[in-house]
Amino acid sequence: MIAGPAYRLDSFLEALEDASDIDHLQRLIERLRDEIGVDHVVYHWVSSGGEQYGCGTYPAEWVQLYVAKDYLRIDPVVQGCYQTFHPVDWKRLDWSSRAARAFLSDAVAHGIGNQGYSVPLRGPNGQFALFSVSHHCTDEAWAMFTDTHRRTLILIAHYFNHKALLLEPGRCPLTAQPLSPREVDVITLLAMGYSRAQVAETLMISEHTLRTYVESARLKLGAINTLHAVSRAITRGLIVIT
């Protein structure tokens, strides 16, 4: 049974803050799976040095098969999430190719679930990560779950990524740079999926002025583009999606 809305987010984030190593993250991801009542939770990332790390609840047999068949090349979840900043429901991805359908059939056979939701994450120096939950249930039950827990999962994903970066060997802590109140407003609305036109209308400013705020925030955050700026602002706790 998928958990209801009474999930204790604060308790989990406090535990995540105290995590001291990768093994601790693994225990926390197992705890999250049990608390929200899904089949699997997985966090997989590539470090700034190109090394791959991961923790999650997928069966070892599936992980070995995934590597052996080089499914990374055709996995619609990885391919789809790499092209966007926004969270993705797996049903909205392109599963039309024969290879993608074969991959999905294999995944379901290994208990991964017929439903999934992934949050793409980006960090410094090209770091890319995915935070995913999956489950076997009806479309209706999954829609109710994602509607209830979407914001919680996004927040946990970014906190998880931040902690993983801090635990990455040899990495210096990130220093948060203050954004102005208006820059916070702009970046927050963009993180919530507003278009630039919608942000400008909501804040009652021109799109030219909006571009100025976006560029200023990007420079302060040392980001290469707007999506990177949004990701860094969330990871550093400068904005919170509510």
Please give the full DSSP string across 136-190, using - where no structure is assigned: ---HHHHHHHHHHHHHHHHHHHHHHHHHHHHHSTTPPPP---PPPHHHHHHHHHH
Strand 88-89 to 52-56 pairing? unpaired
CB atoms within 10 A of CB 194: 16
SS3 state at 108: helix
Sign of the Cα torsion 196, 162, 64, 51 reads: positive
Output the pLDDT for position 63: 87
Beta bridge partner(s), residue 135? 115
Output the pLDDT for position 1: 43
CB atoms within 10 A of CB 127: 20
Low-confidence ranges of the chain (pLDDT < 50): 1, 3-6, 172-173
| Residues 235 and 227 sit within 8 Å (Cβ to Cβ) | no
Output the pLDDT for position 175: 54
As a whole number of angstroms, the distance between CA 86 and CA 64 comes to 29
Output the pLDDT for position 7: 58
The tokens 């984030």 sit on which residue?
Answer: 13
Q: What is the pTM of this model?
A: 0.67
The CA dihedral of 123, 127, 128, 130, to the nearest 10 degrees, is -70
